[in-house]
Amino acid sequence: MLAQRVASAAVGIPIIVLLCWAGGPWYAGAVAFILLVAGYEFQAPQHGAWAPLAVLSAALAAAMAAGAFVGADWVLWFMIGGVFIPLVWVTVRGEPATALDDWLWSAGGIAYVGLLGAHLVLLRELPEGRDWVYLTVFGTFAVDTGAYFTGRTIGRRKLAPRVSPGKTVEGTIGGIAGGFAAVLLANYLLGQRLEPALIVPLAIVLPLAAVTGDLAESILKRGMHVKDTSHIVPGHGGFLDRLDSLLFTFPMVYYFLIWVAP
């Protein structure tokens, strides 16, 4: 498992770095593809593999990245489509017994994967967005890595056994500490040099958002009765399994910059 995780990171990290550096359509297109796969991973357990509504909902989630690239206001319009189109679909299909569950799952997945995922593009499009994307990704991955190795080494007490049996209190503390240090280091190395009154709160909140995002996906997977959303990323599971924390940290950093440190 560890060897697979390291191998996946060795391949994936350079690609992520290059895409973040390039920005523009290449970055937005890559995010759209990731959201498409993650959206399908979310939808398939409810609607069935390659079911039309699963594919449609995944496509609508991916379209949110295109909306974000066009402009922040377009995200709202794309989300309205994400609510309206699946509702029309289940209405035309005319199966009352499953219509409510199918529509709620579809719209919820579009909001979870698509709306939150659109912030991966929104953050990149901000001034100095490339460096903020690097900080967010670096900080989030540091939380995951710190939690993994600390938990394996000294983890004893279960954090939330009904939600995620493998997570420990010690591992979570190690992850939060690693994320805190990573945000401070990235702030310095990337040249943002935010003053302590701003960067310290961000360094505290980002790891907490990462942990919350991880647990949120875990409880959703329990509802799906799956351990991993897929096996497309060796050692990590599916795209959604790798995206879970980022779906929380990217919006948090984006609105931090918009509202707190403009």
> Mind giving me the DSSP string for 40-82?
HHHHHHHH-TT-HHHHHHHHHHHHHHHHHHH-HHHHHHHHHHH
Same structural domain for residues 247 and 135?
yes
229 three-class SS: coil
Are 135 and 110 contained in the same domain?
Answer: no
Residue 225 is encoded by which pair of tokens?
A: 């009765």
Residue 43 sits in the same domain as residue 105: yes
Q: Confirm if 178 and 203 have CB atoms less than 8 A apart.
A: no
Q: Are 84 and 170 members of one domain?
A: no
The pTM score is 0.94
Say whether pLDDT at 262 is over 60. Answer: yes
How far is CA 109 from its chain centroid? 12
Q: How many CB atoms lie within 10 A of CB 9?
A: 16
**How many domains does the chain divide into?**
2
Q: Is the distance from CB of 65 to CB of 116 less than 8 angstroms?
A: no
Residue 191, pLDDT score: 86
Tell me the residue range of the domain where 232 lies: 128-262
Last residue of a domain, one of 96, 125, 154: 125
Question: Band of the pLDDT at 25, cuts 50, 70, 90?
Answer: very high
Question: Which of 125, 142, 171 is the C-terminal boundary of a domain?
Answer: 125
Domain boundary among 125, 144, 166: 125
Query: Taking residues 31-58, what's their average pLDDT?
Result: 95
Per-residue model confidence as pLDDT tens digits over 83-108 = 999 999 999 999 999 999 999 999 99
Straight-line distance from the first to the last Cα atom of the chain, in angstroms, rounded to the nearest whole number: 42
